[in-house]
Structure 1
Amino acid sequence: MATEPEPQGPARRTPPAQTSRSTAPSSVLRTAPGLPAGRIAPAAARGLPTRTGDSTPDWLEPAMAANGIGSFDWDIRRDVLEGDHRACAILGLDPKRFDRSSAAFLALLHPEDAPVLRRRVERAIAELGQCGAYYRTVFPGGGMHAVRFRGRVLADAFGRPSRMVGFVWDATVELHKRERAGELAALREERSRFIKEAARALSEAVTVRDVARVFTELPLPGLPPDGLLLASLEAGRLQILGATGYTPDSVRPYDRSLLDLTHPASEAIRNRAPVFIASRDEYRERYPEAWARISPDNPRSSWAFLPLVASGRAIGVCLVSFDDDRELDADERTLLSTLGGLVAQSLARARLHDAEHELAAGLQRVMLPRTVPSISGVTTAVRYLAAGSGLQIGGDWYDVVPLPGGHVGLVIGDVQGHDVHAAGIMGQLRIALRAYAAEGHPPAAVMARASRFLADLDTDHFATCTYAEVNVDYGVVYAVRAGHLDPVVRRADGSASPVPVAGGLPLGVDPDEEYRVTRFSLDPGETVVLCTDGLVEARGMDLDTGFARFCAAVCGDLPARSESPYDPLELLADRITSQAADFTEREDDIALLLLRWDGPAGGLAAQQLRRRIGQADLARISELRGELRDALRRWGVVELVDTAELLASELVTNAIRHTDRDAMFTARLYREASRDGGATGRARLRVEVEDESDLWPTRRTPGEQASSGRGLMLVEALADGWGVEPRGTGKRMWFELSAEN
């Protein structure tokens, strides 16, 4: 409650024969436990004689009557209140029911005001002074009224407080003004708080969908709307982004529709100023053509169309509607206009973000493989996670390349940088590396050519990369690493460990760099895991710790295929990436590639080995001999290993030395069948080497000191059969060996 300052009474007067001032007030307080200021019974109503000495003077009565002022007289010692008829009307008293005591009067006051009034009256009595107050009373009907009073304490002949006389007047209008001012102050504070909360929520909205959600959930203070709608303007068409209070059927005709020039939304956008419509009649009068298209079932009766203007350009419109007629005041219109400005800025920022994100996502989709090829004998799974901040595009990539002979190449790489430039370089490098691999070049040559290609681009960028060629028939992996992370192999028992691979410089650093190949084998059910450094690096965590955590995520149990509808490899990929997805401030993107070697169908290895041997690639010949040995062991013809290895090496070396093109090596094992379809137990190995040279081999008779010329002699002596066959371009040399199972 608002109260006036407590007035200070005049100095107490003490007649010569007066007793001590400290005794008189205390005795009065004991006789009057409640000290009021206004609920009084008129003397006339009680039949009391009118006072003469203290009555209102005749000359003052007209002025008091004209101003609605009543007078009162309180006998402090007897605790009896008296007053004129105006005082009773102002206080809402019923003289017949009011007992004229101060306690009864205080009981009628507002609980917050009674203690204040008591203190002021007590002080006035103690000081023989005057006091005044503003207080609220509750009329018998429950109405709240306000009263102002001012009174003075009079002393008797001995200087003791005897009576209080004064005036009262109605202050209910002032009460309403104060209440209204308080309500307006609270509403202004609520609106200010709303603007702050709306600005905060809209600033946190990242996408257009977020802006639409925040807008349609805003609780407008003081004027709760019945409908909210947000629409953007694209090429003269409205696109509904979000709505509340409207059914989908009611807004569907306006979605993607041309903006009608006669519609109030069009006027708001055209003039860059809000349009407020207070009633349906006003809508019909101002916009008759637009009103004709409104459904009769539309419950709205007032509208506010707020243009969304950002950087001087209209980008959309907000609609705020009400079910009742509403003439918005200046403060409400200012609030809505401010809200429209906040939404416009947030929507413009969100549209730019969505456009950048769509550009980045589209570019990334083009750069990365659309699908991973399905290759018999292996199962693959891939994942790509964009960075948690920035343009969400980078130079990380993966690829799965089908190779000649049914083999498969795995590529994982990361171009330096995290921007569109890095993504463009990544796309070029991925295509080049894929082309080199698909041509059948060995891993070391693929990596060397890719490094030279990146250096020739002259972009001042480098790239880390791991390329692995997997022999699908036998589970043999040939890996080459250029400044990248080592691959991790998950064993069949669930354990996992990195495989050390001989490393070289990142691609593009030294165009003449030669890369070494590391060979390792997989058993059926084992998985090769390749990833980029975004999965193992994080702020506040070193590389070793991150790589150890990555290996821990790779190992562990997985549900069996019968326990889950998803392939365990997909579940493993999700588990690995989930730990990286927890880092919302991840600064680098992530590429992940997994390949599980399922083993040959039926548990038996395929009966064919096919490899391309690059020109002058002598290291490839050594690798081929190892693969042939593994193949023959798996095929169950171990007795042919030594002879087949020697003769194959001779044919391949002869093709490489005497031609200037690559050679294609093929080994097949045939099992002869009996008439009833069963196997006879005889196996026949046929080895072929094709080249594009028209120069046929010539059998020579070298001397004892000759260093060459014995290849065909060995083939003729050790093979069960051999020959040379012409092809369209070049020739095919072959030999056959037989074995008994």
Structure 2
Amino acid sequence: MLDIPSSVRVDVETLLAAQNHMGVCDAIEQYAPVGKPDAMTAPHFPKVAGIDSTVPPPAHTVAPASPAPAPPSSAGAPGAPGALIQDRLAGWVSDLTTLHELTERLARTAVMDDALHEVLRAGAALVGARRGLVVLEPADGLGPDTTVGLGLARADLGHIETVPRGATSYGRILDRPDATGEPEVHADLLSEDGLDPRHREVAARLGYAASFALPLATEAAGRLGAAVWLYDEPAEPVERQRHLVGLYTRYATEHLARLLELERARTKSRTIAEELLPPRLPRVAGVQLAARRRTGPRGGGDWYDALPLPEGALGLAVGSVTGSGASAVAAMGRLRASLRAYAVMEGEDPVAVLSDLELLLRLTEPARSATALFAYCEPALRKIVLAGAGHSPPLVIGERRTEFVETSLSAPLGMLACWEAPSVEFSPEPGETVLLYTDGLLHRTGDPMDRAFARLHAAAAGVPRTIRDDPGAIADHVLHTVLPDGLDAADSDEDVVLLAARFE
């Protein structure tokens, strides 16, 4: 045992053996220094080539040569072994810090596409590459299947996909019977014997000469896909780089598995909600219809409906059920189906329709409330009779006016022992559009309700004349104007529904 008179007390032979027989991160965890090392002023071995969490990797992607070993110190030279140990410890701590920063950035991603791009960027920095691609193809076959590139355009990915699957690195990884496995390393693709001619052609066309591929798989998550990084010149990552990127991809796989489960749940919720809404809007003479819907990540209870009624009439409805998630979606489906039945029986009296709906809600779901608006339209006469329960008033958009319909103030369904409010009758002019919407459109703005209503009115008044004949274009304009900068597509607990009816 060498007696080192510093705060670092380590068995030198054991530490060097640990470096050669285990990963740097495992070794640093087992042989961490007892106290804080003294100032490390000696020259350090280079960190892993290509690692820089704040600076993009260099364009030249040839893997650097391994650092030359330090010359052996002369016997009895004081402090030389201690300085060597401190240098190696400093390098390991630097690697751990880099991994921590990269995994922290990955943990902040909340959607699959962002996470896949972050995996590519981090992996490229760790192995010293400039380009790459991730192929997401879960082994359970439930999808989603997608390919994301780094430094590769969609056309470049298309060229790579023309290579026979068995000749590509990611194809061999994904076709393995086991979930995990060794990386696929091709240090000099163009000089390899037996390289598929199409692969050689694509590599030359895109300008890459080497590749390093890893499976995105763990025992717990199974196989999710494969990641491939491409070098511009013949190269391959050194052992230290392979170890670090292996640690990173194992963590990344677990994170991607969580996002995959969340995305599948959201997809199921959206599919169920869409199936409970009208698959298409009816065609009724004298009126054009368009609908737009935005739902949050958990799915909500906002809905719309348009159904043809006897004698050429048309029923229009929008509403919102309290809560979110699967229970709200199911309640929305039951409420909409009940309203359709009441509308067929007594649609010409919107107050009676909502009264029956309120009674049903109070008896069957006493713990839930809902807002609703039902309009009985006679397109041939351009006559509308409507009633609302706690719902925002419709908006009439035309060449000469943009105004809210004056409706009576009423509580939502399920809030009172007996609901009833007077109906309102009005007549839109030829070419005017009546816009029905849910409160989510106003709540997503983040403004107080008076400002949100003013923003909605201004958006409707600013509809360009060139699109006033298209109710779908009017709905899109209002949606994107009231909710700019992607607020209409961002994840939110508030659903948004717009139903536009243009009268001829």
Query: TM range, normalised to the smaller chain?
Result: 0.5 to 0.7
Q: Distance in 2 between matches of 1:572 and 1:358?
A: 28
Cα 1:449–1:254 shift into 2, 3 Å:
farther
Residue aligning to 1:331: 240
SS at match of 1:501: coil
Residue aligning to 1:476: 383
Does the Cα contact within 8 Å between 1:301 and 1:322 map onto a contact in 2?
Answer: yes
The answer as to 2:183 corresponding to 1:275 is: yes
Q: Distance in 1 between matches of 2:216 and 2:229?
A: 11
The answer as to 2:286 corresponding to 1:415 is: no
Q: Distance in 2 between matches of 1:321 and 1:492?
A: 58
Residue aligning to 2:24: none
Unpaired segments of 5 or more residues in structure 1? 1-177, 599-741
The answer as to 2:373 corresponding to 1:466 is: yes
The answer as to 2:435 corresponding to 1:536 is: no
Q: Distance in 2 between matches of 1:213 and 1:275?
A: 20
Q: CA deviation at 1:337?
A: 0.7
Does the Cα contact within 8 Å between 1:451 and 1:511 map onto a contact in 2?
Answer: no
Does the Cα contact within 8 Å between 1:415 and 1:426 map onto a contact in 2?
Answer: yes
Aligned residues: 407
| Cα distance per residue 1:339-397 (max 9 Å; x no partner) | 2123313321331232122112212211221222222222333221223xx41x11111
Instruction: Mark the structure with the bigger radius of gyration.
Output: 1
1:580 to 462, 478, 483: 483
Q: CA deviation at 1:421?
A: 0.7
Match of 1:567, as an amino acid?
A: D
Match of 1:523, as an amino acid?
A: E
Q: CA deviation at 1:523?
A: 2.7
Cα 1:188–1:440 shift into 2, 3 Å:
same
Residue aligning to 1:493: 400
Q: Distance in 1 between matches of 2:301 and 2:387?
A: 20
Q: Distance in 1 between matches of 2:164 and 2:106?
A: 25
Does the Cα contact within 8 Å between 1:480 and 1:517 map onto a contact in 2?
Answer: yes
SS at match of 1:220: helix
Q: Distance in 2 between matches of 1:452 and 1:217?
A: 57
Q: CA deviation at 1:233?
A: 4.3
Structure number having the greater strand percentage:
1
Which protein has greater RCO, CA pairs closer than 8 Å, 6+ apart? 2
Does the Cα contact within 8 Å between 2:126 and 2:245 map onto a contact in 1?
Answer: no
SS at match of 1:421: helix
Normalized against structure 2, the TM-score is what? 0.67
2:270 to 346, 361, 364: 361
Residue aligning to 1:454: 361
The answer as to 2:153 corresponding to 1:251 is: no
Residue aligning to 1:220: 124
Segment of structure 1 superposing worse, 588-597 or 293-302 = 293-302
Q: What percent identity do the matched residue pairs reach?
A: 23
Q: Distance in 2 between matches of 1:258 and 1:434?
A: 57
The answer as to 2:454 corresponding to 1:548 is: yes
Q: Distance in 1 between matches of 2:399 and 2:427?
A: 13
Match of 2:396, as an amino acid?
A: V
Residue aligning to 1:689: none
Residue aligning to 1:147: none
Q: After TM superposition, list the pairs within 5 Å mapping 1:34-73 onto structure 2.
A: none
Q: Distance in 2 between matches of 1:522 and 1:270?
A: 66
Q: CA deviation at 1:465?
A: 0.6
Q: Distance in 1 between matches of 2:217 and 2:338?
A: 48
Q: CA deviation at 1:273?
A: 5.0
Residue aligning to 1:558: 463
Unpaired segments of 5 or more residues in structure 2? 1-82
Residue aligning to 2:78: none
Q: Distance in 2 between matches of 1:327 and 1:455?
A: 69
Q: CA deviation at 1:520?
A: 2.5
Q: CA deviation at 1:512?
A: 4.9
Residue aligning to 1:519: 425
Q: Distance in 2 between matches of 1:529 and 1:279?
A: 62
Does the Cα contact within 8 Å between 2:394 and 2:436 map onto a contact in 1?
Answer: yes
Q: Distance in 1 between matches of 2:346 and 2:196?
A: 72
Cα 1:196–1:254 shift into 2, 3 Å:
farther
Cα 1:225–1:414 shift into 2, 3 Å:
same
| Cα distance per residue 1:147-168 (max 9 Å; x no partner) | xxxxxxxxxxxxxxxxxxxxxx
Q: CA deviation at 1:592?
A: 1.5
Q: Distance in 2 between matches of 1:209 and 1:185?
A: 35
Q: CA deviation at 1:425?
A: 0.9
Cα 1:350–1:597 shift into 2, 3 Å:
same
Q: After TM superposition, list the pairs within 5 Å mapping 1:147-226 onto structure 2.
A: 189=94, 195-196=99-100, 198-218=102-122, 220-221=124-125, 223-225=127-129
Normalized against structure 1, the TM-score is what? 0.47
Does the Cα contact within 8 Å between 2:393 and 2:404 map onto a contact in 1?
Answer: no
2:471 to 569, 580, 587: 569
Residue aligning to 2:339: 433
Q: Distance in 2 between matches of 1:272 and 1:595?
A: 56
Does the Cα contact within 8 Å between 2:350 and 2:374 map onto a contact in 1?
Answer: yes
1:394 to 295, 300, 305: 300
SS at match of 1:513: coil
Q: Distance in 1 between matches of 2:321 and 2:93?
A: 56
SS at match of 1:416: strand
2:293 to 371, 378, 384: 384
Q: Distance in 2 between matches of 1:399 and 1:533?
A: 16
Q: After TM superposition, list the pairs within 5 Å mapping 1:589-738 onto structure 2.
A: 589-598=495-504
